[in-house]
Amino acid sequence: MTDTPLVELSKIGLTRGGHRILDGVDLAVYPGRILTVVGPNGAGKSTLLKVALGLVGASEGEVRRSAKVVGYVPQRLEIGSLLPLSVRRFLAMAVPERMERDRLEAILDAVGAGHVLGRQVANLSGGELQRVLLARALLRRPQLLVLDEPVGGVDVAGQAELYDLISRQARAERVGVLMVSHDLHVVMAATDHVVCLNRHVCCAGHPEAVSIHPEYLALFGPSVAASLAIYTHAHDHGHCADGRIQPLDHVHGPECRHG
């Protein structure tokens, strides 16, 4: 990979109130690539994203961010019912310049929330708000998308659509994606690089390699890992140990839904 990373963390450590939250974490997000962070609750996933965004300062290590425009979907957004704010206005706030109406509606349609444009943000359901937040992040035409459980609260059919949209954006616009997700099935299918985090990086690499890694199995249990096996998708390339792409002897069949 010759691209410069959009954001690169090296040896990140964070101690808060005597608790070690992150320890020696390295990761880098490249244009057009999707990096997913998985891990149990309290593993420091959301904090890691905030460190990458510069919202939380690390105690040790270095954050280098070259991406100028960043789209962020926080894990939760609480807008009190006392703040009158339409979805249209909420979306328009994401960019400094005036927004063309068509573009706003097109993006909202793409995330499957076209019908909420005139509604008040405080009245949206959890899933609707999550879709609007993703639309808002995309409206900024980001170089880097940072998504903290972007499909939380979204119905199952919608989840697949949204992940599909995210990966299409990554490929077509060469957007780098740094994402936290609990949906291990989808993670394994739509991710280039998985980082398994439990304060430190337990293991990292290509999804299929990570899913059989002993530390990953210890963290999620063999039954979860086994159930993932059915969902792994065929790839038209493999990876060498250093991450370089290596062509596979694979003939596309009628069932292939990739490249």
Partner 1 sequence: MDEFLLRAVAAGWALAVVAGPLGCFVVWRRMAYFGDALAHSSLLGIVLGLLLGVAPLVGVVGLCAVAALILAWAESDRHTSGDSLLGILAHGALALGLVLLSLMDKMRLDLMGWLFGDILAVSWSDAAWLWAGAVVLLLLLATHWRTLVAVAVDEDLARVEGHPVGRARVVLMLLIAMGVAASMKIVGMMLVTAMLIIPAAAARRLARTPEQMAIAASVAGGLAVVLGLAGSWTLDTPSGPSIVTVAAFLFLLSRCIPAR
- Positions in the binding site for partner 1 (CB under 8 A): 17, 50, 53-55, 70, 72, 74, 77, 79-80, 82-86, 89-90, 93-94, 120, 140, 146
Residue type, 147: L
The letter for the amino acid at 110 is A
Q: How far is the CB of 20 from partner 1 (least distance, A)?
A: 16
- Quote the least distance from Cβ 7 to partner 1, whole Å: 12
C-alpha to C-alpha distances, 257 to 9, 199, 227, 235, nearest whole angstrom: 34, 36, 21, 10
Compute the CA torsion angle 30, 32, 38, 42 (nearest 10 deg): 60
Minimal distance, residue 245 CB to partner 1, in Å: 32
Q: Which of 59, 63, 74 is nearest to 6 (CA)?
A: 63
* Beta pairing, strands 200-205 & 193-198: antiparallel
Least Cβ distance, residue 180 to partner 1 (angstroms): 14
For residue 204, give the 3-state DSSP assignment: strand
Cβ of residue 86: shortest distance to partner 1, in angstroms? 6
Neighbouring C-alpha atoms within 13 Å toward the C-beta of 120 = 9
Question: What gap in Å lies between CA 160 and CA 188, rounded to an integer?
Answer: 13
Structure tokens at 69: 């425009």
Q: Which is nearer to partner 1, 96 or 222 (CB)?
A: 96
Report the residue number, 66 or 86, with the smaller CB distance to partner 1: 86
Q: For residue 119, how far is the Cα from the chain centroid?
A: 27
If the CB atoms of residues 31 and 74 are measured against partner 1, the closer one turns out to be 74
Cβ 148 to partner 1, closest distance in Å?
Answer: 10
**CA R_g for the chain:** 19
Return the number of the residue (140 or 206) whose C-beta is nearest partner 1: 140
User: Which residue's CB is nearer to partner 1, number 94 or number 184?
Assistant: 94
For partner 1, give the closer residue by CB, 88 or 216: 88
Q: What amino acid occupies position 146?
A: V
Q: Output the smallest distance, CB 222 to partner 1, in A.
A: 37
- Closest listed residue to residue 135, CA positions, set 170, 173, 101, 103: 103
Choice between 139 and 170, CB closer to partner 1: 139
